[in-house]
Amino acid sequence: MSILRLRNVCVSFGGPPVLAGVNLKLEKGERVSLLGRNGSGKSTLLKLIAGNFKADEGEFEFASGTKVSQLEQEVPGSTEGSVFDVVASGLGEMAGLLKDYHHASLRIATDMSDRAIAELDRLQHEIENANAWQLNTQVDAVLTRMKLDGDAVFAELSGGMKRRVMLARALVVEPDLLLLDEPTNHLDLAAIEWLEQQILNFNGAVLFITHDRSFMRRLATRIVELDRGRLTSYPGNYETYLERKQAFLDAEDEASKLFDKKLAQEEVWIRQGIKARRTRNEGRVRALEKLRVERSQRRNVMGNAEMKISVAERSGKLVAEAIDVSFAYEGKPLIRNLTTTVMRGDKIGIIGPNGVGKTTLLKLLLGKLKPDSGQIKTGTAQSIAYFDQLRSQLDENATVIDNVSPGRDSVEINGKQKHIIGYLQDFLFSPERARSPVKVLSGGERNRLLLAKLFSMPANILVMDEPTNDLDVETLELLEELLMEFNGTLLLVSHDREFINNVVTSTLVFEGDGVVGDYPGGYDDWQRQKKSPAASEKKPTANKTGNTGSGTKKAGKKPGYKQQRELEALPLSIERLETEIESMQLAMTQPEFFQQSKQEIGLFQEQLTVKQDELKQYYARWEELEA
C-alpha cells in the first residue's frame, strides 16, 4: 500500500532547479536509501516531505492519516530541558501538558504538601479531559525501549546519546513514515549498530540519507538517486545500483555524443554561404533553434574530485613504539599497559566508543603527550599532516583560497606548481565558491576543504580523525583509493566500517577498562577474531610483540570456582532487577498511582530506592569480579 506519492514536483531557489519534475512512491514497510552528491538537494527533498516548506509545482498525495516524523542532520542548538521534555516535544501541542505532569510527578516524591498534590491532581484531570493518557504512555514506552533516563539533562549528554534522544522524539508519535538525514554522523560503532536494529524493528516506511555504505547495505530495500534534479529508482541492493547506474551513465554519454554530433552538423549547415541561405529550410532552422535550447539546458554530471597527496621524503623505518604504556585522565584509566609498534607504511585503524580516548592514543603515538607510565619511542624524519574532525584548522572568516594558500596564488604538489584555483577545482570548488568565506560552506564542502589543505602539505604520516563525515559516496571512494596508494604511514580514527575494511592493514581497538586490543586486518577481521577462541585468549595481550599488556608480575589472580559462578550469574540478576525497576517506574506514571494513600506511595518509593541501590551494588560487584 502506497503511503506517499510525489508527481512532477519542482523546487528552485533562483538557480537551476533543485528538484525538476520529481516522482516518488513509497510503500509501507520499505526502507529507501536516498543517494546523491553533496549539494544535490537530498536534504531539501526530506524537508519538503516533512512539510517544512511547499514545492513550486507538483502534487503530493499522502495516504489518509499518515504521520510523518523526521530526524534532522544536526541536533537543533535550541534543544533544552530533560530527556522526557525533549522526547515529549515530538507530540506537538500536548507536549507542554505532559511535561508539566511529569515534573509534578517527580516533585511529589520530595514534596507531599497539599499544594503539590492539588497541582498533580489538576494536571491529571486536564490530561483525562484531553484524552492524553495514551500519549504519556507513548513517551514512557519509547524511553524504556531506548533505555533513556527521562530525568537526565539533555544538554549534558554526549553527542551519541543526544542523537538517540532525538530519534526517540521522532518515534514517539508512532509515525508511518520516518525521515532520517545522515543518522550515523558522529555516532560510534556501538551506537550505529544499535540504530540499525531500531530501524529494522520499525514497522513503518523509512526514507534515509547516508554516506555509510555498510549501514545502507544492511537496511536499504531500495535505492533512489537524486541527480541533477531528477530522481531515479534502483530496486535491489547497493551492488545492483552501482551496475545499473554505470549502465545508465554509459547510455546517457552515448546519447549526448550523438546529440552533439547532430548539433555540430546543423551549425555547419546554417553557416553556409549565400546560396544555402536562399534555399534554407525554415523547418530545419526551427529544429536547430530547438537543439540549441536543449543543449543550453543540459546539466552535466558533477565531476569527481581529483585529489592528490603531497608526499614528503620517507620517514625512518620506525614510526612509533609503545612499551607498557598507561595513561589516565582525572583518575580514569584510558589506556592500560599498551605495547605496540608502528612501522613505516603501516595503515592502522583505531576503533572505539566516543570519548574512550582515541584522540589521546594518537597524541601518545605521535609523542605529543607523555604517558603516565611506560615508554614511547618515535622515529625520525617525520612530516605529519593531521585531519581534525572538529575542523579547527579552518579559519571561518577567511576565504577558501586563503585557508589553503594564504597570500599565494599557487601550491606545490609533489614538486609541481599548480594555480590555486585549478587545485581547488580538483576538490570540486568552482572559482566563485573558492572566493567564498568558509562560514558559508556546507559540512561536505568543509571536509573537502580540509582535505585540500591537508594534501597540499608534504607529509609521510597522515593522521585522520573522522575524515568521512559529510562526504558523498563518490568522494569517499576516491579518498579510499588515495589512502590505499599512499606509501607513507596512516593512523585513521573512523566509525565507517567499510572505509576501515578497505583502507587499513591492522586495527587498535578499545575494548573496555583501558585495554587496547591489536588485530591484523580491518573491522570485519576484528569481528571474526574476537569471536574465535584463539582471539579470546589473545585479547588481553593488546600488542603486536607477543608481550602481555600488564606483564607477568602484574597479572591478576585467577578467579576461583565460586567467583566464576557468581560472575556468570550476575548479568541475569542485573537484567531481572532492571526489568523490575522499569515496571515500577512505569507504574508511577499511571493516573491511579497517586490516588493511593500517602503511606502506600511512600512505601512504594522506598522499595524502588532499595532496588536501585541493589542494582548499583550488582554493577560494582560485576566490575570487581571482571577486574
Predicted local distance difference test score (pLDDT) of residue 546: 40
Predicted local distance difference test score (pLDDT) of residue 606: 77
Q: Which three cell numbers stand for residue 290?
A: 530547438
Q: Which strands sit side by side in the sheet containing 373-378, from one edge to the other?
A: 332-343, 318-329, 373-378
Type of residue at 92: G
Q: Which three cell numbers stand for residue 602?
A: 511512600
Segments of the chain with pLDDT less than 70: 1, 93, 129-133, 248-250, 252, 267, 269-282, 284-285, 288, 291-306, 389-390, 531-565, 586, 588-595, 598, 626-627
Instruction: Burial-class residue 375 by CB neighbours within 10 Å (0-12, 13-18, 19+).
Output: exposed
Q: Which residues contact 285 (CB under 8 A, 6 or more apart)?
A: 270
Domains delineated in the chain: 315-383+459-552 (3.40.50.300), 561-626 (1.10.287.380)
CB 249 within 8 A of CB 225: no
- Compute the distance between CA of residue 213 and CA of residue 200 in angstroms, rounded to an integer: 16
pTM for this model (two decimals): 0.66
Predicted local distance difference test score (pLDDT) of residue 16: 75
Predicted local distance difference test score (pLDDT) of residue 591: 58
Paired residues of 465 in beta bridges: 493
Q: Which three cell numbers stand for residue 137?
A: 504512555
Q: Which three cell numbers stand for residue 202?
A: 520499525
CB 455 within 8 A of CB 308: yes
C-alpha separations of 520 from 161, 462, 523, 541, 589 in Å: 31, 19, 10, 13, 51
Buried b (16+ CB within 10 A) or exposed e, 324-339: bbbbbeeeeebbbbbb
Predicted local distance difference test score (pLDDT) of residue 371: 94
Torsion over CA of 400, 405, 411 and 414, rounded to 10 degrees?
A: -90
Predicted local distance difference test score (pLDDT) of residue 540: 45
CB 181 within 8 A of CB 209: yes
Buried b (16+ CB within 10 A) or exposed e, 353-370: bbebbbbbbbebbbeeee
Q: Which three cell numbers stand for residue 30?
A: 520499505
Residue 191: other Cβ atoms inside 10 A:
21
